[in-house]
Homo-oligomer: A and B are copies of this chain.
Amino acid sequence: MKKVSVGLIGYAFMGKAHSNAYRQVNAFFKTRVKPHMKVICGRNEKNVKEAAERYGWEEYATDWREVVDRKDIDLIDICTPGDSHHDIAIAAAEAGKVVFCEKPLANTLKETQDMYKAVQKAKVIHMICHNYRKVPAVVLAHQLTQEGKLGTIYHFRGTYLQDWLVDPKFPRVWRLEKKRAGSGALGDIASHSLDLARYVVGEITEVSGALTTFVKERPLPSQPRKKGKVTVDDAIASVVRFENGALGTIEATRFATGRKNYNRFEINGSRGSVAFNLERLNELEVYFRDDADHLQGFRRILVTEARHPYFGAWWPPGHIIGYEHTFTHVVHDLMEAIAGDTLPTPNFEDGLKNQKVLDTIERSAKSKRWERVR
């Protein structure tokens, strides 16, 4: 069986999650091509060396350009902060590699457009890692809307709530600098809600948004006695309209005390509704108006049956899976796409469309008006 030789750029949180996916995918899934964990790359030699050993990479490297240039690498996986996605992705595309990139695709719409052009021009396979699309329960929600089981969609209600910034003493890490991170809750987590909205409902055409920064200065990580400016949003709230007439709300914050990874959405349609919450990712709540009148209610489906998306590869019913499994599903889909020479979803086109919505929310937050996505 053909091996896909992977070069992973970045070894932190996402590097750990992606490494796990490559290591695990074929212990559970049969894919027509298999990833080969060739080289992991990061600027700090000591750390990247340790990561290579720990996560099971054959080699390590410190210069991503060298990795991109290697003939024996088939796939470049980009797990670095957003400000470097652009250069790496374009170089990888030009080198003819499969390009697999963490979300958001880039920090600006312009960069995103360039990246999308590059992969199209190079005719390479590309994918964006919106891993929550690959939660079995989310795929089931998507299937229900696609099959019309929920009828006409009236509402989407997305909230992504975390609380890791509530403490004002939490340091001014790179994720709080616009230059590095592009934006705050908007690009980091609202982007997930938006991608899910597009996946389960459809395209967003118009938005009205607000951004807020509650704590404007924080201790610098390296000099805790000095403070640095927080240049990104702590929270974002918006009302959106979809192409199909649905009305939506999307909210994301890092100041929702007690909510840890509460990525929840609810869809209401003329025939039914669904609700999902990432903190209980093995469950999907579904309501059908077609049920007998006196027996209608939200069903809590434990999406852990062999017949549910992806689950058959894992464990018996009720033996739940966790966060990292979503990445394994992404890698599964990517491997199958490579084997079939097709484009997986979500890909850079989704990344670009998502970025357009994020960008429109930022514009609306400034203009204080509704703005059209364009």
Measured CB to CB, the residues of A under 8 A from B are 13, 17, 19-20, 23-24, 26-27, 54-56, 140, 150, 154-155, 157, 159, 161-164, 166, 208-210, 212, 214, 235, 237-239, 241, 245, 247-249, 251, 253, 255-262, 266, 268-273, 278-282, 284-287, 289, 291, 293-302, 304-305, 307-308, 314-325, 368-370
Closest residue of B by beta carbon distance from A165: B154
Contact: B299 with A297, CB < 8 Å?
yes
Q: Which of the residues B164, B235, B282, B307 comes within 8 Å of A317, measured between beta carbons?
A: B164
Contact: B317 with A270, CB < 8 Å?
no
Closest residue of B by beta carbon distance from A262: B318
Number of copies: 4
Q: Which of the residues B239, B268, B285, B322 comes within 8 Å of A257, measured between beta carbons?
A: B268
Contact: B27 with A19, CB < 8 Å?
yes
Contact: B302 with A300, CB < 8 Å?
no
Closest residue of B by beta carbon distance from A298: B300
Q: Which of the residues B54, B285, B291, B302 comes within 8 Å of A279, measured between beta carbons?
A: B302
Q: Which of the residues B24, B155, B308 comes within 8 Å of A256, measured between beta carbons?
A: B155
In the bound complex, CA of A23 to CA of B37 (Å): 15
Closest residue of B by beta carbon distance from A209: B239
Known: A27-B56, A295-B286, A295-B299. A257 touches B273 (CB 8 A): yes
In the bound complex, CA of A301 to CA of B293 (Å): 10
Contact: B212 with A247, CB < 8 Å?
yes
Contact: B323 with A255, CB < 8 Å?
no
Q: Which of the residues B55, B209, B239, B272 comes within 8 Å of A258, measured between beta carbons?
A: B272
In the bound complex, CA of A56 to CA of B56 (Å): 12
Kindly list chain B residues whose C-beta atoms are within 8 Å of the C-beta of A289: 166, 257-258
The 5 closest A-B pairs by CB, nearest first: A260-B318, A261-B318, A258-B287, A297-B299, A297-B301
Known: A257-B272, A260-B317. A296 touches B301 (CB 8 A): yes
Known: A27-B20, A253-B155, A299-B295. A316 touches B279 (CB 8 A): no
In the bound complex, CA of A359 to CA of B170 (Å): 40
Closest residue of B by beta carbon distance from A275: B258
Among the interface residues A241, A295, A299, which one has the most CB atoms of the partner chain B within 10 A?
A: A299
Contact: B271 with A257, CB < 8 Å?
yes
Kindly list chain B residues whose C-beta atoms are within 8 Å of the C-beta of A253: 154-155, 247, 268
Contact: B256 with A235, CB < 8 Å?
no
Contact: B318 with A320, CB < 8 Å?
no
Contact: A210 with B320, CB < 8 Å?
no
| A368 to B: closest C-beta gap in Å | 4
In the bound complex, CA of A301 to CA of B155 (Å): 21
| A371 to B: closest C-beta gap in Å | 9
| A175 to B: closest C-beta gap in Å | 12
In the bound complex, CA of A270 to CA of B247 (Å): 31
Closest residue of B by beta carbon distance from A140: B294
In the bound complex, CA of A296 to CA of B245 (Å): 30
Contact: A258 with B298, CB < 8 Å?
yes
Kindly list chain B residues whose C-beta atoms are within 8 Å of the C-beta of A369: 368-370
